[in-house]
Amino acid sequence: MDKYKDIISGIFAKYTNIDKSNAQGLIDELMQYKGHWGDCKTFSDYYQTYINIFYAIGLAHGILGRYKESLDILLPAIEEYNKLSEYGYGKKADFYQLIGHNYCHLSNEEEARKAYKQMAYNEFRNLNRTSYPVDLYSFRTPSEYAIKDIKNNTLSFSKLSAFNDPVDSAFFKIEEERRKTITDKSELLGSRLISEAYSHFRARSLVSNVDFFKLNDIINPKTEYLCTTPEYQSTLMWGYYTDCHEGFCIKYKFQNRITLRNSEDEVIIAQMDYIQSMPYDTTLTFQKCFLTKSIEWKHEREKRLLYFNPNNTEEHPTISIPKDALQAIYLGVKCSDETKKKIKGAVQDKPHVELYQMYISSDNVYALEAKKIDRC
């Protein structure tokens, strides 16, 4: 069994770069061992060698312009792979991207759209799904939607285009510019449909001083802080996101229950990365598409909740969260009596939630301080 697995792996090593000059050669060599492909179907490598046979042949057919033949290989293979393994999301995303590409060349827009949506879904599921038990803060305007989230134990999400950064996500601007240089109609259709698939992502911005990158260090995980001033005392965040201190700040603590869900609502939480620049010729990864911003935003110390449901059509979808995830609410310096009354009513059945009133600090006129207040 290992003999043929080694032979197949050797063929892959030989054809690291597949193009028109060698695509048929790859197909011919792999087809010689078709009777032994099943010998490569082993759990020890999560079926990677086995499933890569079909991917490689499908890719080669596509390169040679044989799009129907490519689909004839890829479609039953991805169906089998989905049954064989719940995981392998990265490879599944590759399959669906290639399937979408083939459908574009066959002018089948509807099937291409479905494939690219599945590509995005599997790219999303391939991300780190850990939910860190650290304090996270959400600065909110005094809107009915925000208060409804508190009352109903829900989290609402928004389209990235609704955020205050006009290039969040940079993917859409870069892909928009790239389309101006595309002359092939099939490639143009693919670019448009991929952008459409990614437009289904929704996000919620939170703040934490904890450095998730250090928590993620495999060799030496540790808790380090990006800032020593408590999150709820950030005058900039209050000014940016609470309608000039008229809103409030919610303190959450999530366990894995928020990311390990038993539904089509997929949620991950991740730390934003901040970089100096992103040229238009940047090779885009999912991290750079949705979890990277300009260094100008670094002071926000954003932790982003990303949401994706392949069947979602809502502008502002919501998910349920455990009641104990909501820990405290800080009322802005200019928070009105009416808003305070609504918030107190929203937490009436949540006796564990603490309420604080923000004031100008008694020690420093440029600083804020919080004082615990009665819930009544």
pLDDT digits (tens, 9 = 90+) for 113-123: 999 999 999 99
pLDDT band for 129, please (50, 70, 90 cuts): low
- Taking residue 168's Cβ as centre, other Cβ atoms within 10 Å add up to 22
pLDDT tens string 22-47: 999 999 999 999 999 999 998 877 78
Which amino acid would we find at residue 107? S
Mean pLDDT of the residues in the chain: 92
pLDDT tens string 223-251: 888 888 999 999 999 999 999 999 999 99
Q: Where are the strands (E) in 172-320, listed by range? A: 202-207, 248-253, 266-271, 273-275, 292-294, 302-308, 318-320
Indicate if the pLDDT at residue 376 is higher than 80.
no
**Structure confidence at residue 256 (pLDDT):** 62
Structure tokens at 273: 């990365």
The full set of domains in the chain, from first to last, is: 2-125 (1.25.40.10), 135-372 (no CATH)
How far is it, in rounded angstroms, from Cα 305 to Cα 203?
6
Q: Pick from 216, 170, 339, 318: which is nearest to 258 by CA?
A: 318
3-state secondary structure of 140: strand
Stated length of the chain = 376
pLDDT tens string 241-296: 999 999 999 999 987 667 666 677 888 888 999 999 999 988 888 888 899 999 99
Indicate if the pLDDT at residue 217 is higher than 90.
no
**Structure confidence at residue 362 (pLDDT):** 94
Q: What is the pTM of this model?
A: 0.89
Indicate if the pLDDT at residue 218 is higher than 60.
no
For residues 28 and 15, the answer to whether their CB atoms sit within 8 Å is no
Structure tokens at 314: 């809502």
Q: Point out which residues pair with 253 in neighbouring strands.
A: 135
